[in-house]
């Protein structure tokens, strides 16, 4: 199978980023389909706290009063991850936040979205002791940043946090910036997102 090639636009090329996401999103959905077919979770696209989310419950799910809020990776610029696997592995209801992506969003806007979902879950009757947060790569960094915002705003802290390989060092001087894991376009879009 030929590996697709994508053009990573400059950080200020919003149309280019929109086109790239239109190319990448179906690819991730296609890659996720075999997992969904295998585990057969119940996935509902909805809004919580006026933010788009996927509400994912494993097959034969039984409510135990707990919920896991998931923030996907993707360098802040694309959708990556598979919350269906997390839901099936843990047996938990997973709220996967479809957060606003760079360069269309800024860090504060996106962390506000996360805090809004947590607050809405609290309004639905979940206590922070019932809520855990999980994020991978850029999502791990968003979990950390959102929890700091939650503490600063007096919302409190969830019962548990999982930061799976979080993209924490955003200085641009770490080894991964020199080994080519992150493209210049992705880095520029992420910097714009963070400022």
Please list the alpha-helical segments (H only) found in 40-174.
Answer: 83-90, 107-123, 138-152
For 113, other C-beta atoms within 10 Å of its C-beta total 22
Query: Do 83 and 70 contact (CB within 8 A), yes or no?
Result: yes
User: What is the distance in angstroms between the CA of the first residue and the CA of the last residue of the chain?
Assistant: 39
**Residue 186, pLDDT score:** 61
Query: Do 113 and 138 contact (CB within 8 A), yes or no?
Result: no
What is the model's pTM? 0.85
**HSE-up of 123 (CA within 13 Å, CB side)?**
9
pLDDT digits over 141-178, tens only? Answer: 999 999 999 999 999 999 999 999 888 776 767 665 55
**Residue 172, pLDDT score:** 67
Query: Do 142 and 98 contact (CB within 8 A), yes or no?
Result: no
Cα radius of gyration (the chain): 17
Q: Where are the domains of the chain?
A: 14-194
Taking only the tens of pLDDT, the chain with its 195 residues reads 566 677 888 888 999 989 988 888 888 778 778 888 888 999 999 999 999 999 999 999 999 999 999 999 888 888 776 788 889 989 999 999 999 998 899 999 999 999 999 999 999 999 999 999 999 989 999 999 999 999 999 999 999 999 998 887 767 676 655 555 555 566 566 666 666
Q: CATH for 14-194? A: 3.40.50.1820
């Amino acid at each position: 199978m030929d590996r697709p090639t994508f053009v990573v636009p400059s950080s200020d090329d919003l149309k280019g980023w929109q086109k790239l996401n239109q190319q990448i999103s179906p690819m991730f959905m296609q890659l996720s389909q075999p997992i969904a077919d295998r585990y057969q979770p119940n996935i509902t696209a909805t809004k919580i706290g006026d933010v788009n989310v996927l509400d994912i419950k494993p097959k034969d799910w039984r409510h135990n009063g707990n919920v896991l809020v998931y923030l996907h990776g993707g360098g802040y610029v694309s959708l990556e991850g598979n919350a269906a696997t997390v839901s099936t592995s843990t047996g938990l209801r997973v709220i996967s936040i479809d957060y606003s992506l760079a360069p269309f969003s800024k860090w504060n806007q996106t962390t506000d979205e996360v805090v809004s979902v947590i607050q809405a879950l609290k309004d639905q009757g979940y206590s922070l002791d019932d809520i855990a947060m999980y994020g991978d790569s850029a999502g791990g960094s968003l979990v950390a940043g959102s929890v700091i915002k939650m503490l600063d705003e007096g919302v409190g802290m969830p019962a548990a946090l999982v930061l799976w390989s979080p993209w924490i060092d955003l200085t641009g001087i770490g080894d991964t910036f020199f080994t080519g894991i992150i493209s210049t376009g992705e880095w520029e879009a992420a910097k714009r997102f963070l400022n």
